[in-house]
């Protein structure tokens, strides 16, 4: 049955995301806040995260390009990105931000640049994974099924 | 939390919480959590906007009566006015000082916990779990 197949696919995919550390317990918390009165809650929060992250990453790219680099400003942006990734459960992005802040602390430009690339990569990865996850949810619901709840 | 009932038994207004956070993700989360407990929620993205909403204009005088707010919950670390700065302004205002203010913070700032003075024995036992790193 189509719904069952999709639900299995969803559980496997979601489980892998937790296992590989892309998402953590906080993402489950966000999912648990979705219900009949807030049917698109996860989608809304993910969208806000994506908008916020893209804005912050642009600002970061701009800040890193300045001569000389204002590490305080860079750190402020990374702090915000760390916060929102933690709030949505995007663990690898959050950890990359942590490492980034250490470079900023040391005023280490090369380290900073490396960390920025790392954060940007992790963000791209989790963004595409979240989009796939949400896509699967949509398919399940359109096929008349309900989205399985997961324990991470 | 059910609606507060007035002395005639009719339902009074729900409790109104003003949530202040510069992160759009966090605003959406806190709004959802508070509404799940039947609070009426208004979210703003800065201490400055919070004060405008509360009726404190730029002059820090009660220029117009703002909507009734039963509690303020604010992020600590925000650009411009921090949660702590906002707390100070609210508590220094005769019109607003009665409103309870809760400050929320992430581990970003590095603090382990937040306790109110004067400490009690229960607070001291909380400290031990922080040293051990265990959850009590």
Domain that holds residue B56: 12-108
| Chain B CB contacts of A48 below 8 Å | 24-25, 28
CA dist., res. A61 & res. A38, Å (int): 35
Q: What pLDDT score does B5 carry?
A: 47
Residue of B19, B22, B25 to mutate for A, most A C-beta atoms under 10 A: B25
| Chain B CB contacts of A83 below 8 Å | 23, 25-26, 106, 108
Mean pLDDT, all residues of chain B: 82
ipTM, two decimals: 0.92
| Distance in Å, alpha carbon of A77 to nearest chain B alpha carbon | 10
Check which CATH number belongs to the domain holding B42 and give it.
3.40.50.2300
Confidence band for B107, pLDDT divided at 50, 70 and 90? low
pTM of the model: 0.86
Q: Give me the architecture of the A2-142 domain, per CATH.
A: Up-down Bundle (1.20)
Per the structure, how many domains does chain B have? Answer: 1
A19-41 residue pLDDT tens:
999 999 999 999 999 998 999 99
* Position B113 in a domain: no
* Position B126 in a domain: no
pLDDT average, residue stretch B118-132: 80
pLDDT average, residue stretch B85-113: 87
Q: Of A38, A51, A83, which is closest to B26 when you measure between CB atoms?
A: A83
* Position B32 in a domain: yes
């Amino acid at each position: 049955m189509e719904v069952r197949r999709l639900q299995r696919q969803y559980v496997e995919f979601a489980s892998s995301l937790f296992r590989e550390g892309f998402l953590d317990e906080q993402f489950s918390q966000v999912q648990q806040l979705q219900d009949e009165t807030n049917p698109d809650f996860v989608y809304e929060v993910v969208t806000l995260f994506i908008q916020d992250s893209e804005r912050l990453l642009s600002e970061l790219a701009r800040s890193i390009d300045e001569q000389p680099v204002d590490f305080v400003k860079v750190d402020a942006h990374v702090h915000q990105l760390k916060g929102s990734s933690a709030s949505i459960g995007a663990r690898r992005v959050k950890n990359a931000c942590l490492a980034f802040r250490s470079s900023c602390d040391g005023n280490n430009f090369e380290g900073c640049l490396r960390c920025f690339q790392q954060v940007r990569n992790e963000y791209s990865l989790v963004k595409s994974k979240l989009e796939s996850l949400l896509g699967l949810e949509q398919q399940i619901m359109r096929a008349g099924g309900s989205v399985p709840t997961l324990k991470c | 939390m059910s609606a507060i009932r007035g002395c005639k038994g009719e339902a009074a207004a729900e409790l109104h919480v003003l949530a202040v956070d510069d992160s759009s993700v966090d605003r959406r989360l806190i709004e959802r959590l508070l509404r799940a407990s039947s609070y009426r929620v208004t979210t703003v993205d800065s201490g400055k906007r919070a004060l405008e909403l509360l009726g404190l204009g730029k002059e820090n005088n009660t220029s117009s009566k703002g909507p009734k707010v039963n509690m303020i919950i604010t992020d600590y670390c925000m650009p411009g006015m921090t949660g702590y700065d906002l707390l100070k302004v609210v508590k220094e205002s005769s019109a607003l000082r009665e409103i309870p203010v809760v400050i929320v913070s992430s581990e970003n700032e590095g603090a382990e916990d937040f306790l109110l003075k004067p400490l009690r024995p229960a607070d001291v036992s909380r400290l031990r779990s922080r040293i051990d790193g265990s959850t009590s």
